[in-house]
Structure 1
């Protein structure tokens, strides 16, 4: 299967937006892809109050997602299973 999206190996993925539903975290990447992961992967996020879950910010130029009210966050590369240098 071929893909029209080229990911340069030296440019880590960047988020342009993110949203949280009752069961998932959805991250929209700069190249147009959407990454959907279950909240169950992150106990601290799954157990948070709904108002805390939606209180998120895209940080570090799109390389991270931060929840100020939870004082915790995630890297976009980590969500995708790649290191920042890959």
Structure 2
């Protein structure tokens, strides 16, 4: 089985849309990731797709997300998440 690979991201008011290279689109509630939820639209859009599509990274927000874990329904797993505003 091939690993899921991100191609691009999009955002609306409460959802991150992950477009995969195989044509699937995954909608993930921003509430799963408090740093993204609290970030401005400009900050959310300053992402890097890392690992050839296996990861999503926001340097300014200190956020790293595994695409494979998104498909498994995993949210933020940090020990001290930032409270959503």
Q: TM-score, normalised by structure 2?
A: 0.78
Distance 2:9 2:16 in 1: 7
Q: After the TM superposition, which residues 1-86 of structure 1 pair with which residues of structure 2 at under 5 Å, given as runs?
A: 9=1, 11-81=2-72
**Structure 2: where are the runs of 5+ without partners?**
74-85
Distance 1:27 1:18 in 2: 5
Q: Secondary structure at the match of 1:61?
A: helix
Larger Rg: 1
Distance 2:25 2:7 in 1: 10
**Structure 1: where are the runs of 5+ without partners?**
1-8
Q: TM-score, normalised by structure 1?
A: 0.77
Q: Secondary structure at the match of 1:32?
A: coil
**Displacement, 1:38?**
0.7
What residue is the counterpart of 1:4 in the other structure?
A: none
Kindly tell me the number of residue pairs found equivalent between the two proteins: 73
